[in-house]
Amino acid sequence: MIVVTGGAGFIGSYFLRKLNEQGITDITVVDVLRSAAKWKNLVGKQFSEIVSKEEFRRRILAEESGAEIEAIFHFGACSSTTETDADYLLDNNYAYSRDLALFAVKRGLRFIYASSGATYGAGENSYSDDVFDDLRPLNMYGYSKHLFDLWVRRHGFDSQFVGIKFFNVFGPNEYHKADMASMVYKSYHQVMQTGKIRLFKSYRSEYADGEQQRDFVYAGDAAEVIWRIWQEPSIAGIFNLGTGKARTWNDLAASVFHALDRPVEIEYYDMPEALKGQYQYYTKADVSKLQASPANVQFRELEDSVRDYVQNYLHPERRYH
């Protein structure tokens, strides 16, 4: 049996589809649905059961599960970069992850978990996945992920686990994420409603408005990397999962307009004061370790990824993967 935490979420449900496509259906989905629309991400997918995070955590702490589990894919987390409840993030993103990790160690299970590019902060100490002690995350979400990476390394578990530092992933099944949905998703709806896309102004002289840069990754490429990691048991360590290319917000906006065959019209507006101190002006994953591994894939260009997402999943109506 495979366990996928966050299995109804964005990356989790995308990978769930990947498992089904490979004929794997004996899967326990762990997630908290509540009133969010992410239950729709599970429609059409095959799995054995769905349990809440609280119930699954109770089971592993009581050692009521495990003999039949082959691997745990731990994608469940609070991914909000604006969440300010530090105690909640520490429990949900750090302590819960630690509980799962110790369970996996005790049972000898493969453990593949989601970290984040947010651990790098402003990138002043590089974006290398071999650098840890000098990182300075800009928000509590990034810090909670960084703490777990440090815990994994401190106990030597990076020699058997795989941690994946996701950069800016976008694509189908993110519809429930509200303010945390990708800018591709938001931009599409802005164009359909107003005919233009709004981007933050820059407050650093070395970046013109809209020229701030990110490493954008399509969800399908991310799922393929995860699959290849699982297929190669020798892979262990903490890896960046990005394209290794930094593209501007202007590039992304133009890609959305082109996918819709509309003229480019961008409006720049003031960044909220609360974001100015934690805004990343530049991210680019150092993917040399990933490229040297059996999990390396040929990432799609931003324009091709945006076109596929917009034309095949967003327009004229949202479609799930």
Q: Is 177 a catalytic residue?
A: yes
Given 14, 96, 120, 141, the catalytic residue: 141
Whether 141 sits among the annotated catalytic residues: the reply is yes
Q: Which amino acid is at 61?
A: L
Among 40, 53, 177, 245, the active-site one is 177
What are the catalytic residues? 141, 177
